[in-house]
Amino acid sequence: MIYKIIVLRSYKLVFGAIEFKKNRFEILKIQKDFLFKNFKDCWNQNG
């Protein structure tokens, strides 16, 4: 029984880490796209 709880806990930790990484990747991608868009807009206005 205790073994089961430990396994479930570590499972949750692993899946949590994976989800966190995925979310972070998505957020970074969105930020990159946003910055690139702003950079292009500024470039077009100045040039």
Half-sphere exposure of 12 (CA within 13 A, CB side): 6
**pTM beyond cutoff 0.85:** no
**Cα–Cα distance between 2 and 40 in angstroms, integer?**
57
Exposure b/e, 19-41, CB count within 10 A at least 16 = b = eeeeeeeeeeeeeeeeeeeeeee
Total structural domains in the chain?
Answer: 1
pLDDT in tens, 1-47: 788 888 889 988 888 888 989 999 998 999 999 888 888 888 888 75
Task: State which residues form the domain around 24.
Answer: 1-46
Using CA atoms, how far apart are residues 34 and 26, in angstroms rounded to an integer? 12
